[in-house]
Structure 1
């Protein structure tokens, strides 16, 4: 296997496929837009983005469990965009459950199994 193929294989193995919503602010915008993140790694992510973005332009993201992170557009094609982060993150933090208190919406809380009584009692 060529060195370049090995690099691509290693990179692909480090991605974590998922589907979550995040907020992204493109260069020149003041209001963040909601995007679907399809995969994430320590160094970047791929998200669905219905507009084109210029490669190399700065972007600001708000990721659940990580908080604000800056990066640059690495590539853009047909409704998807790649972002290279300015610093590495722990992608496991994005998957970590958030909240569980009274102010957390039900859809964001961890699923629980209700306790039931045995039949006939």
Structure 2
């Protein structure tokens, strides 16, 4: 083991807003997306989540993504996505038709 933190590989620091749903509840919570990768993200917000909670995140240009809360620290928490996404899509500006 090299001591390299593989979680940082392919991760982009950014600032986006997203909607988050916890479990089967239908109420949306606005969270700040602090960083994003194909396999997960770090969110910041006042919503209360527990490690292991199933969540659904609505990311711009990506849509609803299923995930699981992997860690929590203060008002920030990590989400591991069930399926990989294209993080560049979420960072693209919405085109006007």
TM-score by length of 2: 0.91
Asked whether the equivalents of residues 14 and 41 of structure 1 are also in contact (C-alpha less than 8 Å), the reply is yes
Higher relative contact order (CA 8 A, sep 6+): 2
Structure (1 or 2) with the greater strand fraction: 2
CA offset at residue 20 of structure 1?
0.5
Structure (1 or 2) with the greater helix fraction: 1
- Count of paired positions: 97
Query: Which 5+ residue runs of structure 1 have no aligned equivalent?
Result: 102-121
Q: What value does the CA root-mean-square deviation take over the aligned residues?
A: 1.4
Q: Report the counterpart of residue 33 of structure 2 in structure 1.
A: 37
Q: Does 1:25 align with 2:21?
A: yes
CA offset at residue 12 of structure 1?
1.1
- Cα distance 1:4–1:47, how it changes in 2: closer, same or farther (>3 A)? farther
Asked whether the equivalents of residues 52 and 76 of structure 1 are also in contact (C-alpha less than 8 Å), the reply is no
Q: How does 1:1-121 map to 2 (within 5 A)?
A: 3=1, 5-6=3-4, 8=5, 10-101=6-97
Give the structure with higher Rg (CA).
Answer: 1
CA distance in 2, matches of 1:31, 1:77: 23
CA offset at residue 4 of structure 1?
5.6
Query: Which 5+ residue runs of structure 2 have no aligned equivalent?
Result: none
Q: Deviations over 1:47-102 (max 9, x none)?
A: 1021331111100110001111000000111000100000001111111111324x
Task: Specify the SS of the correspondent of 1:94.
Answer: helix
Runs of 4+ that moved beyond 3 A: none
Asked whether the equivalents of residues 52 and 77 of structure 1 are also in contact (C-alpha less than 8 Å), the reply is no
